[in-house]
Amino acid sequence: MTSVVERLAGDAPAFSVEFFPPRDAADEAILWRSIRELEPYDPSYMSITYGAGGSSRDGTIRNIARAATETTLVPMAHLTAVNHSVAELRNVIGHFAAVGVRNVLALRGDPPGDPNGTWTAHPQGLNYASELVELLRSLGDFCVGVSAFPYGHPRSDDIESDTKHLVHKFRVGADFAIAQLFFEAEDFLRLRDRIAGAGIEAPVLPGIMPLTTPRTLRKTIELSGMQAPQWMLDRLEPLADDPKAFRVEGLNVVTELCERLLAEGVPNLHFYTFNRSKATRELVGRLGLVPVRA
């Protein structure tokens, strides 16, 4: 099975895509239509997020296994420590390996029901993402990714301590990181520079949300933990009641962000798809990331 870092090692910039587990059969059909529509674009890898709840978790495992066996895509599974004992984590990791999934994004995860709530580890579980990285490393030949936070993790005291935590995840075995959402290219580039300054040469990838609706803008604000810059609000908020115009300008904003990142040598853009493919396909076309077929 090809690893994510192998896919990131090419000379040309690339992109990857992220999906979330379907809630029901109708959602699953939408997910798989999007996967099939993006497959010919040859993303460097595709991932499916991981829910702590049983049905969401099972959907992740089932669909990442299907991607590994039924598509040409390189699959990456997300895994969190939420509500899991170490024995349960070992079982899930073993299942990933059995279906050929050797790329895993290791996350501590958020408290169920309230991402900003108090974190409580499973009595026989893990407390930190770095421990999950170490567990994966102990169980086989996995390519392990971790999350990074351009503005610092919400529970970190400051950027300096957050950077130390991220560097520690690399020191114990992480191969690459995916940055949470941000608004300005400089916000990501400063994160990349902090990691490089600590002697880490592993790839750090930007997470990108296509801004197609006011909802996706609100989601970006929520997930980044920061308010959008005024220049962005000035461009988008007046169009909130005009869906077509908002979508056009939103994709223009994201295209400009991606162009700046690519110009700075970022090797891969990681797109959050919301299980739809159209906006991502438009963006990779604009950015010249569509593979040339012989």
Catalytic residue positions? 18
The closest alpha carbon to 145, from 153, 155, 137, belongs to: 137
Contact of 56 with 21, CB cutoff 8 Å: yes
Contact of 239 with 249, CB cutoff 8 Å: yes
CA dist list (Å): 156 to 163, 164, 165, 278: 9, 10, 9, 36
The closest alpha carbon to 175, from 152, 208, 151, 205, belongs to: 205
Cα of 6 vs its chain's centroid, Å: 17
CA angle at 171 for the pair 169 and 172, rounded to the nearest 5°: 70
